[in-house]
Structure 1
């Protein structure tokens, strides 16, 4: 063995360090608290609809004499027929009115919101930020605060007790404009629009050929919000309309609810009509859900 090998110091391996486990953020208590809040939120949304379903199967006696979440005497189809045949089928007229008002506001009002949001995002014009500030102020104002001013304006123009008193306000949706600007900034790249301008496409053609298809998930979302908002609108048609044939289903059912105080036989009609009135909303959510999942990468630059 050489002297150099003897003089070389021995190296000892470093002591083994214990592997630290990742710190657990929160604990069992926080998990239980979050799950409890989710359960409460789910119960808050589901239990009223579930009660509506059970109550619609009862007649007047069972409605006040049985448990809340229990089936009564099989009277669901009888209640549906009573609702449909009441006053010559006025309920179907109310449902058709609500469908027309909500679809008009969703399709055309949503398109106007998308066009306005696209313009605020992609175009530069004088007073752009000031105008958008007014839009944000409109988001903060509740709809009930605008009912009386709208009624005064409609009375001056002479469109009260007409469908235009409901359709024209449905075209204005400040929150939809704000949401459309967010979608435009996220899904419509400026490079694509610049390439379209180089190819000779004008602003209108660029919007309908490129901008609108890329913003289609946002358009569907805004249209659905507008559909639900117009469908559930109560104060505006209550103030604007006097003809029962023009009323939406929300106001029509409230009239029956007033009749149910002196005439209890109207109570099952109110409950069954309320259950039937939410079916179009459920159908709209189910049918339009796939549009939210598709096209999320439509605005990417390829």
Structure 2
């Protein structure tokens, strides 16, 4: 393949395993998904960067877990950016793409120039796993830590799952010759294979006493983990987000001595699950008096999806648990 030839790997996640190191991983490449997520809102650049990083983490982590329905990453903060939420929906059937969505809420008056992570303050990073009807959702939480969202995710896996995890990420706006500016993101996730039982107890050596990878792996595992991380340190930005290096070629370049083995690539697309029916269900717990307080001067109840921007206009007479009428037409 000649240098500069564009590859058709956009919006994909490639699972792999390093057989000589007992480490699994993912390579993710996103572009159209990010454009679809970010074009729904007029976010400041720092907020866009945080959403791009969160979406990339969501794609990498979501494909790692054997999902039947949804994985969510959420961040709550007392800083300028108050909340970031992203969802990864498992493919409905084999061969289908996974779907993703994300959004952020923020105080525009508090946004500053410079480092995106500086827009966050005290708060927490959460991973939520919902396998659908008939199951109990799982939630794991860790404090905001480090200097990037990837550090929060690494701290979560070390603290909550005792799985040494490492992310190398790159993202930003890109313009190729003859093309329009668009978002690109690429990343590699490494994760040590689970042990038979947790191996670390008590406080850790990470920020605020959190567990870190060095607290969990020992002996040969620690040597393998350190070697794989050293190799990942050599990855270059253009290898992560450039259009001319395939994920498989990247793995061979980085880890050829670790016997990388790849699995089936997973396509990812933007997708939202909002619908009029879901809006009506969410309003079904309210009384007619409550619904009246939500009704506009035009005599309608409106609702907007924070993820995709869909706008719903509903007849208040058809809403709430004591609605006397059946639903009518909506826009």
TM-score range, shorter chain: under 0.3
Q: By percentage of residues, which structure has more strand?
A: 2
Which entry has the higher C-alpha Rg, 1 or 2? 1
Using the size of structure 2 for normalisation, the TM-score is: 0.23
Q: By percentage of residues, which structure has more helix?
A: 1
Q: Which has the higher contact order (CA 8 A, sep 6+)?
A: 1
